[in-house]
Chain A
Amino acid sequence: MDQKAEIMRSSVGIDYEKYITGPLSFDYERMLSDTGYDLETIRTIQSRTAVGNTPLVELKNLTELVRAVSKPGMGARIFVKDEAANPSGSFKDRRASLSVYEAKKRGYKGVAAATSGNYGAAVASQAAKAGLRCIVVQEAFDSKGIAQPEIAEKTRACEAYGAEVIRLSVGPELFYVFLMVLKETGYFNASLYTPYSILGIETLGHELALQVKEQEGRFPDVVIATHAGGGNVTGTARGLIKAGAEDTQMVAASVDLSGLHMASDHDFNRKSFTTGHTGFSIPFTTWPDRADVPKNAARALRYMDRFVTVTQGEVFYITQALAQIEGLERGPAGNTSLAAAFAMARQMDQEQIIVVQETEYTGAGKHPLGQLNLAKQMGIEVVRGNPKDNKPGKAIVIPQHPSQIEVVDVDLDRIRRSYLRNAFNSLPQGQTPGDTDIKFLAADTKSTQDYVREVIRELYGKNR
């Protein structure tokens, strides 16, 4: 599809070809730095539209609750970065701000984004401020016409900011519709996966590291991010590193939706979550370049130290807890990493600090009530019980006690092998990886060149 490459080039203004260094490798850092935006510049751009500088809130009651169910001396302090305070209600404003700024600077008449989530509202909000037109393409309803309530809320929000919203039924051909829109309009592709989108998040990691340092005299021990397409983990981790918090452990957390097919019309309204789930995070971690740009700037496996999952029921439980004992009613995305943080804090020392790096706004549809009412309507059982019995699409099990909240570790060795298999399957016929490729793959999987060589030998024998 040559046309696709051409549309992409003109709609993001990046010549990805020039960063290619081998059949599998490209110069990731140069692709980011060539944008010309450093952290200070980004912060200035974001502050002009009141993006960023969100409060860091210590969740003292939740920490007390952790300690009530932990061994003596255990139970880390939990903090949350209240990203719902951004103009459109989520950290996605950080991603959108730089893309829209770049689009305006380059003289595009409008911006377009393929997204069913908060990012659409963020792009629409930023475009409104910049005086640019905006089109958002969503996967919004199933073949019976039933809209996913959270996406319906995003439709409303995007329209509130003056965007055109193209709502589609279920299927990956959304990408084809999106390409046609870009071709017809000549708008800037405010993709979630361009360098602008990732650089925009660096301020989040940087800010929170410095806030913790200023308040507590040291960097956090653990930062946890809800993980889907990889941008959140990537940008946050890069920001932490730039702040000097290299020793902070970066954890990715997703809702376990195993067993549900992401392109299935039947499963669409049985997921109860629209993002931050394994349906995105596993494929994107094991092969980031499946995105709507040739080289994805969101490369989560480069940065994660640990990858955990929680159940749907655990996230609804912690969402209720956050409202009821912390007085913060917030949406599901940040609460995915909060549920994981709650479980992880139990295994950490009382002196330690764990930071949940986002909250998001909540509202009709984007709320446990809307999701659980739809789940019941779709025949999904909603019960109190042991979260281990949670079965995506069949049963949502709300814990009976906070001590039941646990994380399940995703085996990173398995993820790395899967990534390397996907990389090698993408090799053009007759090409072999050179030393540059091996070095790139080691960095991209946060492993070593020896590890990469070993896995290649195991997968393909000595000849490759």
Chain B
Amino acid sequence: MTQRATKDTWVEIHRIVLEKDQRAPQVPEDTRQVPLEMKVKGFLVHDAAVGEQAEIITPAGRMIKGRLTGINPAYTHMYGLPIPELLPIGEELRTILRQR
């Protein structure tokens, strides 16, 4: 079932800014193979479903249109797993300092 969001919901929209063939001349080969994409968050101006064109009002008060891609989108960056390569360092250094 397609997710729908009502007016005034905090959402993210997505837009292609430059297609592959519109990329700047100095862009390296791998980057030239992909479009320049943009994502912006704001409050929905009207009801819309994910995947549909939608208009938002951003925190700066700008109106922007794009494809609705996320409803109340999560912050997903995190610490993640402890890194085994870093874990012993503290004790190694304390040992050096104790031997002084």
Measured CB to CB, the residues of A under 8 A from B are: 61, 64-65, 67-69, 110, 133-135, 140-141, 143, 147, 149, 152-153, 155-156, 159, 162-173, 176-177, 184-185, 261, 263-266, 316-317, 320-321, 323-325, 364-365, 367-370, 372-373, 382-384, 398, 401-402
Contacts and interface: CB of A to CB of B under 8 A. Distances in A.
Contacts of B39: 140-141, 166-168
Of B36, B90, B100, which is in contact with the most chain A CB atoms at under 10 Å from its CB? B36
A368 B86 CA distance: 9
Interface string B21-39: 0011011101101111111
Contacts of B97: 61, 64-65, 68, 325
Main SS class of interface, A: mixed
Contact of B61 (A133, A159, A321, A368): A133
Given A172-B27, A265-B33, A372-B86, 13 more contacts: A65-B93, A68-B99, A133-B59, A147-B77, A164-B42, A164-B60, A168-B37, A320-B86, A324-B90, A365-B79, A369-B86, A382-B85, A398-B86
B86 A173 contact: no
A-B complex: 7 closest residue pairs judged by Cβ atoms:
A324-B90, A365-B77, A152-B77, A373-B80, A164-B60, A143-B34, A164-B58
Given A369-B79, A373-B81, A325 B60 contact: no
B38 A177 contact: yes
A216 to B, nearest CB: 23
A376 B86 CA distance: 14
A369 B37 contact: no
B83 A156 contact: no
A324 B93 CA distance: 8
B89 A317 contact: yes
B28 to A, nearest CB: 5
B76 interface: yes
A321 B93 contact: yes
A293 B77 CA distance: 32
A114 to B, nearest CB: 13
Contacts of A172: 24, 26-27
Interface in B53-91: 58-62, 75-83, 85-86, 89-90
A173 B77 contact: no
Interface string B4-15: 000000000000
A185 B94 contact: no
Contacts of B28: 261, 263-264
B59 A325 contact: no
Nearest to B92: A401
A132 to B, nearest CB: 10
Contacts of A149: 77-78
B41 A171 contact: no
Contact of B17 (A68, A168, A325): A168
Nearest to B86: A320
B94 A167 contact: no
A171 B30 CA distance: 11
Contact of B83 (A162, A261, A369, A401): A369
Nearest to A261: B28
Contacts of A143: 33-34, 37
Contacts of B41: 159, 164-165
